[in-house]
């Protein structure tokens, strides 16, 4: 019988999908964890966006469109998962990578602003979980993109002994 050997490069998409899958879950969960605090009240990122919009804190600012994009994160991530399941792995990895850069940047800014003193401030839980998820998605996207393409042979058969 022949042995099937897989190149290490052929395992990259599988590992990438695992890291990416865990990462997208952490990003979504992280956005629903506390991001801001006001006294003893904790608000997730969506509640904070609601307050920012209510008080018009970013109206006319170049950051205002970011609020709309942020609210669309969960549907966009869902589309990435569906695209991956339908075999559009590289497309899903590219879009997820862009989303990870966006969420990772926002989460990084929030993480460095965490301060336990005072009545108002940034809560660390949501940004930290989101940042971790973003890093995992980027790692996963790199794994999927660095792996062999769709039409690449992932195994070679070695036969030993005897004549045919």
The predicted-structure confidence for 4-53, as pLDDT tens digits, reads as follows 667 777 899 999 999 999 999 999 999 999 999 998 899 999 999 999 99
DSSP string, 133-161: HHHHHHHHHHHHHHS--TTS--EEEE--S
pLDDT above 80: residue 157: no
Residue 3: strand, helix, or coil? strand
Tell me the average pLDDT across 94-119: 94
Q: Is the pLDDT of residue 154 over 50?
A: no
CB–CB of 129/34 below 8 Å? no
Mean pLDDT value across the chain:
90
Over range 102-117, report the average pLDDT: 93
Give the number of residues written for the chain.
164
Parse the chain into domains and list their residue ranges.
11-35+42-112+122-145
What's the token pair of residue 133? 């998820």
Higher pLDDT residue, 139 or 151? 139
pLDDT band at 138 (very low <50, low <70, confident <90, very high): very high
Q: Which of 23, 35, 29, 31 is nearest to 113 (CA)?
A: 35
Region 136-140: mean pLDDT is 98
Give me the residue label for tokens 């307050």. 51
């Amino acid at each position: 019988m022949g042995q099937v050997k897989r190149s290490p490069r052929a395992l990259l998409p599988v590992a990438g999908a695992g890291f990416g899958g865990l990462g997208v879950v952490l990003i979504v969960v992280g956005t629903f964890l506390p991001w801001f605090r006001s006294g003893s009240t904790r608000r997730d990122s969506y509640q904070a966006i609601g307050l920012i919009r209510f008080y018009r804190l970013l109206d006319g600012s170049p950051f205002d469109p970011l609020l709309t994009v942020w609210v669309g994160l969960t549907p966009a991530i869902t589309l990435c998962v569906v695209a991956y399941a339908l075999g559009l792995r590289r497309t899903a990895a590219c879009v997820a990578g862009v989303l990870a850069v966006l969420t990772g940047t926002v989460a990084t800014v929030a993480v460095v602003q965490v301060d336990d003193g005072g009545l108002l401030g940034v809560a660390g839980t949501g940004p930290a979980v989101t940042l971790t998820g973003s890093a995992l998605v980027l790692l996963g996207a790199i794994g999927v993109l660095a792996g062999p393409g769709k039409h690449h042979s992932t195994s070679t058969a070695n036969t030993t002994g005897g004549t045919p």
